[in-house]
Amino acid sequence: MKIVDIKLQLAEIPLDIPYPSTWNPGNPETKLFISLVEVITDDGIHGYAAACDSSQLLAGIWESHIRPLVIGRDLTEIEAISTGLVNASQYAYRPWIVEIACWDALGKYCKLPIYKMLGGAQDRILAYASTGSLKTVEERLEDMERFISEGFKIMKVRAHHNDPKTDLEIIGKIVEKAAGRIDIAVDANQAWFFTGKKSVAKWDLKRAIRVARELEEMDILWLEEPMHQFDYEGLAELRMSTSLNIAGGEINSHLHQFRDFIKYGCYDIYQTDPTFCGGIHIARKIVGMIEAENKLFSPHTWTHGMGLAVSLQMAGSTSACPFIEYCYDPPYWEYTTRDQMLKEPIKVDPDGYITISQEPGLGIEPDFERLDKYTILRK
């Protein structure tokens, strides 16, 4: 099980329709960015994983930091590999995608899906339809009816207008028309701010409390990322000021950030993303902390199909995960958009659930014909 080679492939796949995401206002997404890592062992096993960028920072330290750390190690030396990659993150963007590729290879060696190697708590997860743009009430109601017809039980909408009254009015009409047929969650996208072409008002504690209390009256399932990701005291005060579930943590990384979230009591639902937080090994440690506090875990997946596959494995490893994000915002973002780099897309069944693949490792296979077509760099 010795690692004999690792490869990096950066690709940029054009989107059919530019996507006006709320996290990058004024700068529509035009490409699906992919940093694909391949780990090869002396047994002839190939493990794969991918980050949601095509950053050449990782390529810049590939020969100097990544290859010397990984090549020659046994696949089971996950702790050492994980620690080294976390240290390497001082120089490059989320290099722990290499560790996830090691897990994929290890699962293939053991002939087991990763979630079974980590606990095997559940093999079927409720998916919620996660939108990521701002639309009119009429457009969002049309989406809601589509989601209900396809079996979804939860729909997440964005609250990202400059005037929160606009958000509350739209959400109120959605809740009214839903009439109990589907639960509604709300994402404020306030954890971080991209310097885009369009400015968006930042929420302070007073605004967050005011919005949360309005949403309480609508019986909203949760309010996500209502304040900056490092405002531990503000998040804790907000959570104590409302009966509404507060969710977040999707873009945070490393154990100490989640330790502080838990110490302050910031969230009811933790949305740790293994591809963002430090890899599968770090993510499972974080999930253990969440379990110890009797809180919920529901991983972020708004990356691409390979990112969703990783979060699915983590979700299946614990009974603390009641549902998982399924990014779906027609016509811009369909599963065919998200999963372009996969040979087979990840679909939701008619009851609104995803059954985790029983194939070994991540249970997915990259579509190299498509990836090769849009590759911009190889290492």
What is the percent of the chain with per-residue pLDDT over 70, rounded to a whole number? 98
Q: Domain 3-112+367-378 belongs to what architecture?
A: 2-Layer Sandwich (3.30)
Range ranked top by mean pLDDT from 78-92, 182-196, 250-264: 250-264
User: Do residues 362 and 48 lie in contact, with contact meaning Cβ atoms separated by under 8 Å?
Assistant: yes
How far apart CA 5 and CA 41 sit, in angstroms, is: 7
Which residue reads 């404020």 in tokens?
A: 188
- What is the model's pLDDT at position 364? 98
User: Do residues 361 and 39 lie in contact, with contact meaning Cβ atoms separated by under 8 Å?
Assistant: no
**What's the predicted TM-score (pTM) here?**
0.96
SS3 per-residue string spanning 357-378:
CCCCECCCCECHHHHHHCEEEE
Fold match, 3-112+367-378 / 116-355: no
Q: Above 80 in pLDDT, residue 29?
A: yes
CA separation, residue 321 to residues 104, 219, 257, 270 (Å):
21, 21, 20, 10
CA dihedral 123, 323, 52, 359 (to 10 degrees): 10
Spell out the residues 6+ positions from residue 142 whose beta carbon is closer than 8 angstroms to its own.
Answer: none
* Length in residues, the chain: 379
For the stretch 307-346, pLDDT in tens is 999 999 999 999 999 999 999 999 999 999 999 999 999 9
For the stretch 124-158, pLDDT in tens is 999 999 999 999 999 999 999 999 999 999 999 99
Q: Looking at residues 366-375, what average pLDDT do you find?
A: 97
Q: Above 90 in pLDDT, residue 196?
A: no
pLDDT band at 57 (very low <50, low <70, confident <90, very high): confident
Q: For residue 316, count CB atoms less than 10 angstroms from its CB and return exposed for 0-12, middle for 13-18, buried for 19 or more.
A: buried
Sign of CA pseudo-dihedral 290, 294, 295, 301: positive
Listed by start position, the domains of the chain span 3-112+367-378, 116-355
Q: Above 70 in pLDDT, residue 273?
A: yes
Q: Above 80 in pLDDT, residue 100?
A: yes
* DSSP state, residue 361: B
- What is the model's pLDDT at position 198? 66
pLDDT band at 93 (very low <50, low <70, confident <90, very high): confident
Which residue reads 């009811």 in tokens?
A: 268
Q: Domain 116-355 belongs to what architecture?
A: Alpha-Beta Barrel (3.20)
- What is the model's pLDDT at position 193? 75
